[in-house]
Structure 1
Amino acid sequence: MAHVEKFARGTTGVMCGHYGRTEGDGVRRSNENIDPARTHLNYNLAPAHDGGQIAFIQKRLSEVKLQNRADVKVMCDWVVTLPVTDEFKQQKPERQEELTQGFFRASYDFLEKRYGRENVVSAYVHMDEKTPHMHFAFIPVTEDRKKGGFKVSAKEVLTRSDLQTFHADLQRFLGQRGIPLAVLNGATKDGNKTVAELKKATALEATAAKRIESAKREIDNATASVQTAKETAAKEKERVRAEVEAARKEAEAARLAADSVHAEARKAKMDVSAAHGELSALENQKKQVERDIAALQSERDKLLTAAEVEALNGKRTLTGGLKGVSYEDYEALKRTAADVDRMRVRVSDAEERAAAVESREKAVLDSYNRQLQEKSAELNAQYQKLIEPHKQRTLAEMQKQVEIDKKLSRLEQLERFLDAHFPRWRDLFQTFQRQQGKSRDTGRDR
């Protein structure tokens, strides 16, 4: 990149002192970019003049026409800066020195040919500042087309056309010399700019770079926060999944236990059903016995008991019978009384069995009802134990999700801000990430 300045006669002395400064010359300079320890590396590509730069300026001005005004620009200075690119920085020191010398030598030859060897005041290369550059100082002499001869006119030498084509012409000349450095960039592609314009553009670029860097840091921080939130959410999700799996296993065990209880309950119901069947059969037997008892009772009223029959003390008559009763009837009467007594015993046994069945049925029902109540209470307690942590966990998960949503919202707000003020920030950020990736890859290769 290059820019040009114009100077009146009153400032030439100061500028020539700046160009040809030497180490330990005792001059106090305000330029903070100058490193006195490197001043000895500066050199002049132009031919040396007898008496120095000021003497040459006075001599050359005396040879041409010059308006007698204090504001006439008698000297111009093209400042050509070495393009220190990333590719340049990656070169070895020997190659960097070779490229630097070749660049300034070719630039000097281009400028000397453009503005005339006879007008060159000096061409000092300053290696003691932040970026190496050359001050090509010359007297703007041009042909006086009206009156003949030559005159000093910075306006006619540095025309708009000259300034607009300067960088492209210089770039073409460098290419012809085989110098692989570019002077065409965003600041020079539309033509030459003044120092003030370049400084303003540089300041704007620096401000934009700072803002972009700040935005990158905010994006990195937001991305890191989101990534941390995602990792935390993933861990929490895994923890919840493990707990849910454990709860599922517990629920499965509870289900198996419930199935076992249900099986026992079904068996108990079957036992109860069987007991009911047995009870029903006994009940039928009981009713039959009661009917038999009722029938016998009816007959009993008509018959004597065995004791009553024995008490009759019947006597056989001469004809072989009893008084009013035959002997056969008497024997039959005795057998009937005995059958009645045996029937009473059977009825008593049936009643006892029926009572035993009723007692057993009640005991079975009470036992299984008690077991069912105990199992039901146990299963309900297990269920409450299983769902209570999930209720609490649900609230905690909702709170964490709210925090994640807040972080995502801040990231979206930042992206909208960057889209509004720095439309190219996404491209710049992607380029930055690719460069970071290349740097990491280079580090691994080393």
Structure 2
Amino acid sequence: MSDAIAPPPLWLALPFAGLLLSIALGPILARRIWHVHYGKAAAVWAALALVSLFATQGLTPTLASLAHTLLADYLPFILMLFALYTTAGGIVVSDLAPATPRVNTLLLATGTLAASLVGTTGAAMIFIRPVLQANAQRRHKVHVIIFFIFLVANVGGALSPLGDPPLFFGFLRGVDFFWPARHLWPQFALVAGLLLALFFVLDTYFHAKEPKITPERTLLEIRGLPNVALIAAAVLTIIGSAIWRPGIDFEILGTHIALQDLLRGIALLAIGLVSITLTPQADHEANHFSWEPLEEVAKLFAAIFICIIPVMAMLTAKTHGPFAPVIAFLSRPDGAPHDAAYFWTTGLLSSILDNAPTYLVFFGLAGGDATVLSGELARTLAAISLGAVFMGALTYIGNAPNFMVYALARRARVPMPSFFGYLLWSSVSLVPVFVLVTLIFFV
């Protein structure tokens, strides 16, 4: 945005703030009402954002911004999530013997690695039921689910755009597909390694308090192997769209859509539909497969992307816009980014708001240029990315799979801690690790 064009006024960010507060507090303060009416609440905030934009910017700019947001950002995200959600939901892992500390640690480590391939939601769906089954006879198992949320539902998504929505949005904005794997693996290895080691110690302690049970000899069963091939197809499709760039664009409602992006969307839709067709109903029932989580994400993210339109316009104004004080806080005296501040500010907001829009906001505050951020400011982008991915684990509402795992565990009669009880667990277990990450990588 040039200096001659005034940025949108700060009050246009109110619908975005209201929507995020609704998402954060609705499930806590009015759980039953929110569960039924979250779509209506999201629609109201989105409508307010559009009316406000129309009143200040006019009809044509509002429609152009809406079309670009939905076609260039929202649809690619939903189609990617649809493909991974359906394929992961058709993979059934069962017939596990009662878990030992070694088996539990192996399950969590495998799920953590899988999360960067099938997404944190997909990995959580695949692995939570085997973990619950393996620990069904244990009295002390709350810590298993808590560390499952830490690792599989959050930390594991750090190595690829497939892993967690924030990184996929970075990919859509021009960050190279393999950038997270190249730049975030040291922090990922440190955090995952420390948490797995801590879990093994805790699980060994609690396992010693269990009554002695002779484990049955069972044969691990994995069903839904065609979906494994379909997941591979989805991964190759997304990687292919990042590599193959024929230079052919289409204009749809004023938005330029590259041929590779259009074909990627069609392929991901087809992969999801094939998975639904090939997966037996019994496998879906074994996984308690439901469209409700995807429906909730689709509705809420549609509203998020609409409400964030004026916020992103304000961010492009940088020091000339209403977010100038925030940018000053995130900058050192010489004007260079304060990477530790980006890591903690992005992370703490991600823990109480949704981590994907939080990532987008700080991506914009850091300049919004993917070439610069993934190049000379790679450490700043790493701080933003890791804050959004890692610190979503601090609360139940920091990342969508967190609450899904919590609900499934409660259904399996695991006495999960309250919101603040979980916060105590995460503060004690995660904050010291994140402090260590800051001291090693961002100071």
TM-score (norm 1): 0.18
Q: Whose relative contact order is higher, 1 or 2, with alpha carbons under 8 Å and at least 6 apart?
A: 2
**In proportion to residue count, which structure has more strand?**
1
TM-score (norm 2): 0.18
Bigger Rg, which one:
1
